[in-house]
Amino acid sequence: MTITNSLVPSKNDLWFLPLGGSGEIGMNLNLYGHDGAWLMVDLGITFHDRLGVEILTPNPEFIAENYKHLAGLVLTHAHEDHVGAVPYLWQALRCPVYATGFTATILRQKLKEVPWGSQVPIIEIPLSGQVTIGPFHVEFITLTHSIPEPNALAITTPLGRIVHTGDWKLDEVPLLGASFDSKRLQSLGDEGVLALVCDSTNVFTPGSSGSEDEVRRNLVELMASYPNKRLVLACFSSNVARVQTIIQAGVAQGRQIALLGRSLQKMVEAAKTNGYLQDIPPFITEEAAMKMPREKVLILSTGSQGESRSALARVSALTHPRISLGSDDVVIFSSRIIPGNEKVIGIMQNRLVARG
């Protein structure tokens, strides 16, 4: 079958059309079609730090030309590869957006940076909530992942039910937020599922995921082994549980915390707005972090993936206006390497090593 720009599903059709993200890192854009309508799941970007191109979005041409049949956009969680293209592409789609509270907060932050951001209708769905969008009944199912409030979606039509997972791992001790809803996942299987659409990083790697609880124990021990050094911890800003771990470990060791990087500051603000990170002390400024005794400071930084304009990359290149590191400082990377980022991370780490 050839997909044409005039293709509209009938009530006897139930189609899945991935326009980005399937089998690749980033740019998630998935369409489900039924009874004269399309439902979009996620609208993300991927980072591309070559040839002057910073980000890439999926190609929305097909659905943009059929936007009158687009019933809505559902966001599974707030990672950039699932929400980052909304500020760039929504004007071509002009549909309502559905998300749980934390993801909605992150999206509103992004939309403030575009002049038409206030036009986007954002409908907040509670955790484990349900909503009818055109001919689709959508149920949000709580999962665990490296960001608060990740969701699978049970998309039900008269022709059957599809479970779309979004990104996930099975962590029974996530430390922040609810655990994955194993009972509902099992009951969906018992009730019958027409198709499971599941595409998550490392999904084909054998074995089981480590728990955030195990990471916390090891990280606290590692940080304690450098009692007389200024510590810089690099992690994904969206991993709010890891951010919480680092802050708590630093406070327990008598350190004051500075946040380095705009995305980290925004993520902490969004977390607090939605009831997370309530019991953390006030942060110190970057200037104060450089003036205090080294053993009293912990700098929590973005840039673990070597992004050229990130805070840690600028520190390593000696272009950061306020932070300078040397032989009495230790940088700890609390993050995995996203496939494709090996080279730029290696360059950044080599610069740090050259600084001692």
pLDDT of residue 1: 46
- Identify which of 342, 340, 346, 336 has the alpha carbon closest to the alpha carbon of residue 24: 340
Name the amino acid, one letter, at 282: P
Residue 270 host element (H or E): helix 262-273
Greatest Cα pair distance, the chain, in angstroms, is 69
pTM value is: 0.90
pLDDT of residue 308: 81
- Identify which of 94, 89, 95, 131 has the alpha carbon closest to the alpha carbon of residue 110: 89
Side-chain half-sphere exposure of 89, counting CA atoms within 13 A: 28
256-305 pLDDT tens trace: 999 999 999 999 999 999 999 998 999 999 999 999 999 999 999 998 98
Sign of CA dihedral 134, 137, 142, 145: negative
Q: What is the separation of C-alpha 72 from the centre of its chain, rounded to a whole number of angstroms?
A: 21
Residue 53 host element (H or E): strand 53-56
pLDDT of residue 250: 93
Query: What does each of the 356 residues of the chain score in pLDDT, given as a tens digit?
Result: 455 555 899 999 999 999 998 878 789 999 999 999 999 999 999 876 666 677 889 999 999 999 999 999 999 999 999 999 999 999 999 999 999 999 999 999 999 999 999 999 999 999 999 999 999 999 999 999 889 999 999 999 999 999 999 888 888 888 888 888 999 999 999 999 999 998 777 778 888 877 788 888 898 899 999 999 999 999 999 999 999 999 999 999 999 999 999 999 999 999 999 999 998 999 999 999 999 999 999 999 998 988 888 899 999 999 999 999 988 899 999 988 877 788 989 999 999 999 88
Provide the 10 A C-beta neighbour count for residue 57: 18
Residue 273 host element (H or E): helix 262-273
191-218 pLDDT tens trace: 999 999 987 777 788 888 777 888 888 9
